[in-house]
Structures are given as C-alpha cells and as structure tokens.
Amino acid sequence: MIHGAPTLQLQTVSAQQTLEVGTGLGKSLVGGLVIALVGALGAGKTQFVKGMAIGNGACDARCVTSPTFTLINEYAGRLTLFHLDAYRLSGPVELFSLGFDELMAPDSAVVVEWADRVAGAIPAERLQVHIEAVGASVRGLSFWAYGSAAESCLGALCNR
C-alpha cells in the first residue's frame, strides 16, 4: 500500500536517462532491500533494472533480460541482485512458492517488476518505485522510501 507523498520525483527524457537513474540506485543499494517496481507495459521497468545491475557492478546491460518467463534472474555484483517479474504470477502465494523469502538476505537486493500484482508478499519496509509514461520518451519516476534501509539507499542516490 502506498501512503504519503513520494520521497523523490524525477523525470527522464530518454531510455538512457532512466538507465542512468537506475545505475545511481544500483550503486546505492543496501543489503536486504526490496525494490517494488510498478508501471504499465513498456513503462521502462526493465530499462531501470538494467541500470541497477550496472550500478551494482560486474554486469553490463546485455546481461539483463526481462524475467517474464524465467521469473527470476540473478546478477552478481557488489550485492547479488535478484530480478523478478510478477506479470505472469497469480499472486503472492506463487511468489512465495518461488522462494521469494530466501532471496531476501543481507548480501542481496531484490527488485520485483509488476510488484502491484503481488503486493501482499512485498514487505512493508521497501523502496517503492513507480514509472509512468508521460510522453513518447518522457517518463515520470516516483520513489517512496519505507524503512531505514530504503531511506539510506534513496539518500545515497540523491547525493550522487
């Protein structure tokens, strides 16, 4: 559930810019953090995760593919970044059956596309990121930091 005004709002004017914001976030990730990504088809969620994987290190954009069918991708780096896509999941129970609980660890971060489809499984303490198409190549990015890990991650992103 979303409450309160976003902690941070940005606008990007190209896919590259969204990737760069994601890269900043990837550099700022803290262990144990869950990032709930929400946005319509083609909003730019995977583009954002590409940046996160790059910022987390030891990965380039080519290693990031949409986990629509694989359901979970894993990218090594400073932290292990798990990338999930809930688009085809029936709901929170199916997410847990994939081992979602075990992915959340001090040396990993977990990013979930279509997090609104499995909202019941997403921890209250998380970084919520919404991406909205404003124009053909313009996207609005809104961030809500819930909990100290998300707050410190977003704080680090803002200071980059």
Kindly list the residues in this chain that would bind ligand ATP in the complex (CB under 6 A).
Answer: 12-15, 17-18, 39, 41-47, 66, 113, 137-139
Residue nearest to Mg ion (CB): 46
- Asked if 83 is part of the footprint of Mg ion (rule: CB under 5 A), the reply reads no
Which residue number, 63 or 105, has a Cβ lying nearer to Mg ion?
63
- Residue 46 found at the interface with Mg ion (CB under 5 A): yes
User: Which of ligand ATP, Mg ion, none sits in contact with 76, Cβ below 5 to 8 A by type?
Assistant: none
Tokens 């919404």, located at residue: 130
Nearer residue to Mg ion within complex by CB, 46 or 142 = 46
- CA-nearest of 15, 16, 14, 56 to 35 is 56
Q: Is residue 45 close enough to count as binding Mg ion by CB under 5 A? A: yes
- Which of these ranges, 24-32, 75-83, 90-98, 112-120, lies near Mg ion under the rule CB under 5 A? 112-120
Report, in Å, the least distance between residue 140 CB and ligand ATP.
Answer: 9
Closest chain position to ligand ATP (CB): 44
CA torsion sign for 18, 42, 36, 57 is negative
157 sits in which H/E element? helix 148-158
Beta 139-146 vs 8-12: how paired, if at all? antiparallel
Which residue bears the tokens 């979602």? 100
The Cα 32–Cα 125 span in angstroms is: 10
Window contacting Mg ion (CB under 5 A); options: 24-32, 45-53, 89-97, 122-130: 45-53
The whole-angstrom separation of Cα 53 and Cα 82 is 9
